[in-house]
Amino acid sequence: MTKKYLEGNQYNPDIYRSDLDHWQEGDYTVYRTTQWTAPGCHDGCGILAYVNKEGKLEKIEGDPANGYSRGALCMRCLDIVEAMYSEDRLKYPMKRAYEDRGKDKWERISWDEAFDLIEEKVRYFQETYGSGSIVVQQGTGRNTTFFHSTALCYVGFNSPSDTGGFLSGSSCYGPRASVMALMAGCFIISDMSQALPERFDSPDYVLPECILIWGNSPLVSNPDGFLGHWIVEAMKRGSELVVVDPRLTWLAAKAKYWLPLRPATDAALAMAIANVIDEEDLIDHEFIDCWSYGYDAFIEGCRTMSVEQAADICCLEAEDIRAAARFIGSAKPCSLQWGLKLDQQVSATPAGQAIMGIVGMTGNIDVPGGNLLMVDHAFNLALSTGSNWRFVPEDQRKMILGNNRYPMHAQGDVGNMAQEDVVLETLESDGKLNDVGKDFPLKMFVLYSTNPISNMATEAPRIYDAMVNHSEFNVDINYVLTPSAMAYCELVLPIAMGPERNSLRAWWWPLRVIRKASDRYYECKTDEELVAELCNRLNPDSPIPNNDIDWMNQILSESNTDLTFEELTKEVIVWPDWHYKKYETGEVRYDGQPGFNTYTGRFEFTPVLFQQFNLPLVPYYEEPRESPVSTPELAEQYPLILMTGRRSWEFFHSEHRNLETMREFHPDPIVEIAAELAEEQGIQDGDWVWIENHRGRCRQRAKITPGLNPRYVMAEHGWWFPEEDRERLYGVFDSNINNLTTQSNIGQSGYGAPYNGLLCKIYKCTEANSEVLPTEQVTEKGGWSYERNHLDF
Ligand SMILES: Nc1nc2c(c(=O)[nH]1)N[C@H]1C(S)=C(S)[C@@H](COP(=O)(O)OP(=O)(O)OC[C@H]3O[C@@H](n4cnc5c(=O)[nH]c(N)nc54)[C@H](O)[C@@H]3O)O[C@H]1N2
Ligand SMILES: Nc1nc2c(c(=O)[nH]1)N[C@H]1C(S)=C(S)[C@@H](COP(=O)(O)OP(=O)(O)OC[C@H]3O[C@@H](n4cnc5c(=O)[nH]c(N)nc54)[C@H](O)[C@@H]3O)O[C@H]1N2
Ligand SMILES: [Mo]
């Protein structure tokens, strides 16, 4: 079946549509289902799960009858069997004493004992410090990020303190999501025909003439409801690319225009591109006149950035910017696929605003092959339940850390989370410094699919200090024992993986079922079971049913589909009805009127609420706060511009490091450098090098990389070494690029932090300069001394 599918190179739903949700193949029962997490992923591809007579998963294949992923799978998904039965997987709940933080002194306990312990601690902290002292930290776009962590926090703990794992500046999607919410009233996403079951061959679909890929590497990252290989399918059919990326990615190498800008200068480039499009009258007058607000002010603001100035700031040629802008403006349609690197800078909000402006001014909102509106929640499903916000009592709503200081943070679908830098300073000050106006001590943290010191947080040594010294009782809900849990948790709860759970994939269209295919591993519970049970145990008035299936049915019953969970299991995947230009037909606004779900009901080039938030109304450019321009003296010492965290095929953040297959492909951390820099520093390809700045250092292996500016380097994030000693925290700081990054150094809006675009230097590791490794430096010698940034309360 798969072979025929590939040979045809054309998707034929009649041949590959399957009416079955499971069948028998020899000794295997084969289930059609969706894989989301665990292990981590942003997407939800269709899989065939081959389960043997003993209930064990033996094999995974792509499901060719799934119109979303069409049989394709990435290497991590194909390797799920190894992940599920790895020796590193947690089997039982385990606890350890507060005094034993950092020590491998775990004791196996039962679920009942674990829940009793949680109940005892929750009651104590609620009564002694208030329920806000219990914090739930979520990681990125996994199952848990949707209804689980907020349910546990709001319903189980009655706390408003749901937040990221110290994700500085909420720098993943938050900046773009809030700008989209303010300008368009909901998310937009590149139209690769994913809203249409017939996909590219649908008569309603128009192929983009231009795909604008900005700060995103979709082939590797497949982020946020988007599969990168859709772009390759579009390219095969004739789409051309503009790629804005300092690195020569595979897509950049095939682009009509590649703009390798200086890291973190995107706002300047976007303003200049908007200028050219306006000057050359490539704008969509009808959309601007009839459906938008604030265009004149917006473009006036962009005019303060001439193409020549932008070229100078971004280290590009003015003529290249003009040519790319002309193509973006004249291509019909043009589709934007943007990414994380826009969020990871202090100019995240203005950069996002300017780029959204480009999509609006060129008339590419909700047109075929442009950028879709309202596909983020199939059947409004996660929209009605995703945030569980309705369960937060009125008096708690003002108690969300960071929303007073950064009111924009409260905007949009992902806007109810406590702001991470404010959470950190509240923790560090034992509750004294915050923006809520009263003592707010933070005592108990639940790490709910996050591993902050390996990965999510910037300034990892600072997070380590803060958590070890200021929190009292912490729980990790996970499938492996992570460095964060080893460093500062008292309880770990073993969690089931994707093929073991009953759940829903509702974030982004279409709606997909996640159904239990194989038996649970040892005593693991699914996140759905765990949250449902814990909410009911802790809160007698829990509006959440106390088992997974009833909960899923409750969520489905509140959406606008009639399907029950059982029916959805049979369907596997369902597309809601779809048509373009929904803002004309009143399907975007909550009140059913035509227009956008914004303050003015129009597409807001200059968001009206910016004024209320004390933010500039028009896009502006802020030079990175550490750069050869803003800190020339520091740049003499640290002359290189550090980019971090471009995604790898083998890993999802700090996950997958324990899997032999992935490590065979990718054994060590890699820092990409140019040949000129290698020569200058006497570095050979594959040498271990120190990457260092005034905040700290870490070591990775140099990879000489063509097409890279000799002054830019790209280091990997998320590294720990599961093969190493647990009590050395698996060497978590040795190769940790977040020894060099900074907290409390964020954009004016509270969004955007420089995970990317800082200064550093690189030199070869020698025995003499490697006597004290970073893990010992941090855990035994108090880290490095440098001046920390602080928010000013
Ligand atoms: N395999 C895998 N997939 C993942 C993840 C993972 O860990 N592994 N993580 C998931 C998560 S949470 C996210 S947020 C997404 C992120 O995924 P993406 O949005 O694709 O982000 P990155 O891969 O970090 O960077 C994208 C590109 O931006 C370029 N870049 C670097 N600096 C700049 C800059 O200053 N400006 C511009 N314009 N470009 C720059 C990089 O060279 C890189 O090619 O991936 C998700 N998918
Ligand atoms: N320097 C630098 N740092 C970065 C980035 C960068 O580009 N550069 N990227 C940043 C970004 S965009 C993000 S989003 C963060 C991501 O940061 P995190 O989301 O914190 O990612 P992980 O460190 O992998 O931690 C996730 C944990 O959840 C567990 N897990 C996986 N699936 C499940 C599940 O279904 N249920 C439960 N209960 N647990 C699960 C995993 O085992 C893992 O330990 O990292 C950020 N950190
Ligand atoms: Mo992310």
Sketch the domain layout of the chain as residue ranges: 94-171+379-499+519-542, 187-374+591-612, 632-779
**CA nearest to 458, candidates 787, 779, 167:** 167
Q: What is the Cα–Cα distance from 370 to 284, expressed in whole angstroms?
A: 13
- Give the distance, in angstroms, between the CA of residue 457 and the centroid of all CA atoms in the same chain: 13
- Residue 648: CB within 6 Å of ligand 2? no
Share of residues in the chain with pLDDT > 70 (%): 97
Within 10 angstroms of residue 594's Cβ, the number of other Cβ atoms is 15
- Residue 455: CB within 6 Å of ligand 2? yes
| pLDDT digits 0-9 by tens, 567-576 | 999 999 999 8
Q: The dihedral of CA 29, 30, 31, 33: what is its sign?
A: positive
**pLDDT, position 111:** 98
- Whether the predicted pLDDT of 358 surpasses 90: yes
Tokens of 67: 């119109």
Residue 19: pLDDT band with limits 50, 70, 90: confident
- Mean predicted confidence (pLDDT) in 546-566: 94
The partner residues of 448 in beta bridges, in order of sequence, read 138, 477
CB 98 within 8 A of CB 490: yes
CB 147 within 8 A of CB 125: no
DSSP H helical ranges for 506-597: 527-538, 548-557, 565-571
- Residue 482: CB within 6 Å of ligand 2? yes
Within 10 angstroms of residue 348's Cβ, the number of other Cβ atoms is 31
All residues with CB under 5 Å from ion ligand 3? 140, 172
Tokens of 181: 């919410």
DSSP-assigned letters across all residues of 418-459: BPHHHHHHHHHTTTSS-SSSS-----EEEEES--IIIIISSS
Sequence-ordered list of residues with C-beta below 8 angstroms from that of 271, at least 6 positions apart, any chain: 301, 302, 304, 305, 310, 354, 619, 621
Whole-model pTM?
A: 0.97
Residue 390: pLDDT band with limits 50, 70, 90: confident
Q: What is the Cα–Cα distance from 386 to 391, expressed in whole angstroms?
A: 11
| pLDDT digits 0-9 by tens, 45-65 | 999 999 999 999 999 999 999
Q: What is the CATH number of domain 187-374+591-612?
A: 3.40.228.10
> Between β-strands 688-693 and 758-764, what pairing exists: parallel, antiparallel or unpaired?
antiparallel
Atom of ligand 2 minimally distant from the CA of 646: 7
Atom 46 of ligand 2: nearest residue by CA position: 456
Atom of ligand 2 minimally distant from the CA of 454: 23
**pLDDT, position 322:** 98
**pLDDT, position 317:** 98
341 Cα–ligand 3 center, Å: 10
Ligand nearest to the CA of 645: 2
Residue 8: pLDDT band with limits 50, 70, 90: very low
167 Cα–ligand 3 center, Å: 9
Ligand nearest to the CA of 167: 2
First-last CA distance in the chain: 62
378 Cα–ligand 1 center, Å: 25
Residue 704: pLDDT band with limits 50, 70, 90: very high
- Mean predicted confidence (pLDDT) in 685-705: 98
Residue 7: pLDDT band with limits 50, 70, 90: very low
Tokens of 549: 């299936």
293 Cα–ligand 2 center, Å: 38
Sequence-ordered list of residues with C-beta below 8 angstroms from that of 532, at least 6 positions apart, any chain: 544, 545, 546, 547, 548, 550, 551
| pLDDT digits 0-9 by tens, 308-336 | 999 999 999 999 999 999 999 999 999 99
**CA nearest to 499, candidates 57, 92, 52:** 57
- Whether the predicted pLDDT of 447 surpasses 60: yes
Ligand nearest to the CA of 503: 2
Residue 293: pLDDT band with limits 50, 70, 90: very high
- Residue 657: CB within 6 Å of ligand 1? no
CB 301 within 8 A of CB 620: yes
- Mean predicted confidence (pLDDT) in 223-244: 96
**pLDDT, position 413:** 53
The partner residues of 24 in beta bridges, in order of sequence, read 29
Q: Provide long-range contacts, Cβ within 8 A and 24+ apart, for 531-538.
A: 531/147, 531/148, 531/151, 531/152, 531/156, 533/115, 534/115, 534/118, 534/152, 534/156, 535/151, 535/152, 535/155, 535/156, 537/115, 537/119, 538/118, 538/119, 538/122, 538/156, 538/157
Q: Amino acid identity, residue 605?
A: F
**pLDDT, position 335:** 98
644 Cα–ligand 1 center, Å: 9
- Whether the predicted pLDDT of 389 surpasses 70: yes
Tokens of 341: 């690197």
- What does pLDDT average to over the chain? 94
Residue 15: pLDDT band with limits 50, 70, 90: very low
- Residue 144: CB within 6 Å of ligand 2? yes
- Residue 217: CB within 6 Å of ligand 1? yes
Ligand nearest to the CA of 145: 2
Atom 22 of ligand 1: nearest residue by CA position: 646
Phi, psi of 689 (to 5 degrees): -130, 155
**Domain 632-779 is found in CATH 2.40.40.20:** yes
Q: Which of 15-29, 114-128, 206-220, 708-722 has the lowest mean pLDDT?
A: 15-29
- Residue 139: CB within 6 Å of ligand 2? yes
**pLDDT, position 384:** 66
- Residue 653: CB within 6 Å of ligand 2? yes
- Residue 420: CB within 6 Å of ligand 2? no
Atom of ligand 2 minimally distant from the CA of 737: 1
Q: Which of 286-295, 392-401, 505-514, 700-709 has the lowest mean pLDDT?
A: 392-401
Residue 391: pLDDT band with limits 50, 70, 90: confident
> Between β-strands 503-505 and 511-514, what pairing exists: parallel, antiparallel or unpaired?
antiparallel
Q: Which residue has the higher pLDDT, 395 or 546?
A: 546
| pLDDT digits 0-9 by tens, 611-646 | 999 999 999 999 999 999 999 999 999 999 999 999
Give whole-number Cα distances, 323 to 66, 187, 257, 437, in Å.
Answer: 39, 28, 8, 52
**pLDDT, position 609:** 95
Tokens of 499: 């093929």
| pLDDT digits 0-9 by tens, 729-747 | 999 999 999 999 999 999 9
Ligand nearest to the CA of 223: 1
Q: Amino acid identity, residue 124?
A: Y
- Mean predicted confidence (pLDDT) in 365-380: 91
The H or E element that residue 29 is part of is strand 28-35
- Residue 700: CB within 6 Å of ligand 2? no
The H or E element that residue 776 is part of is helix 774-779
| pLDDT digits 0-9 by tens, 125-146 | 999 999 999 999 999 989 988 8
- Residue 569: CB within 6 Å of ligand 2? no
Sequence-ordered list of residues with C-beta below 8 angstroms from that of 332, at least 6 positions apart, any chain: 209
Q: What angle do CA 282, 287, 289 make, to 5 degrees?
A: 100
Atom of ligand 1 minimally distant from the CA of 76: 1
**pLDDT, position 415:** 59
Phi-psi region of 600 (alpha: psi -120 to 50; beta: other; left: phi over 0): alpha
Tokens of 792: 């000013």
- Whether the predicted pLDDT of 120 surpasses 70: yes
Tokens of 606: 């200059």
770 Cα–ligand 3 center, Å: 32
Share of residues in the chain with pLDDT > 90 (%): 88
Phi, psi of 766 (to 5 degrees): -130, 170
- Whether the predicted pLDDT of 356 surpasses 90: yes
Q: Which of 449-463, 548-562, 690-704, 757-771 has the lowest mean pLDDT?
A: 548-562
Pocket of ligand 2, candidates 224, 421, 455, 760: which has the most ligand atoms within 8 Å of its Cβ, to mutate?
455
Atom of ligand 1 minimally distant from the CA of 222: 47
Atom 13 of ligand 1: nearest residue by CA position: 223
Q: What is the Cα–Cα distance from 72 to 62, expressed in whole angstroms?
A: 5
Give whole-number Cα distances, 694 to 719, 740, 781, 782, in Å.
Answer: 21, 8, 16, 15
Sequence-ordered list of residues with C-beta below 8 angstroms from that of 26, at least 6 positions apart, any chain: none
604 CB-side CA count, 13 A: 23
- Residue 39: CB within 6 Å of ligand 2? yes
Atom of ligand 2 minimally distant from the CA of 142: 35
- Whether the predicted pLDDT of 388 surpasses 90: no
- Whether the predicted pLDDT of 412 surpasses 80: no
Atom of ligand 1 minimally distant from the CA of 757: 35
137 Cα–ligand 3 center, Å: 14
- Whether the predicted pLDDT of 168 surpasses 70: yes
Atom of ligand 1 minimally distant from the CA of 220: 1
Within 10 angstroms of residue 108's Cβ, the number of other Cβ atoms is 11
Q: Which residue has the tokens 């949707």?
A: 146
**pLDDT, position 3:** 37
Answer whether the bond into residue 255 is a cis peptide, omega within 30°: no
Q: What is the Cα–Cα distance from 237 to 232, expressed in whole angstroms?
A: 9
Q: Which residue has the higher pLDDT, 721 or 392?
A: 721
- Residue 644: CB within 6 Å of ligand 2? yes
| pLDDT digits 0-9 by tens, 419-435 | 999 999 999 999 999 99
- Residue 742: CB within 6 Å of ligand 2? no
**pLDDT, position 11:** 44
Q: What is the Cα–Cα distance from 62 to 499, expressed in whole angstroms?
A: 14
Q: What is the CATH number of domain 94-171+379-499+519-542?
A: 3.40.50.740
Give whole-number Cα distances, 662 to 82, 141, 304, 647, in Å.
Answer: 10, 21, 48, 14
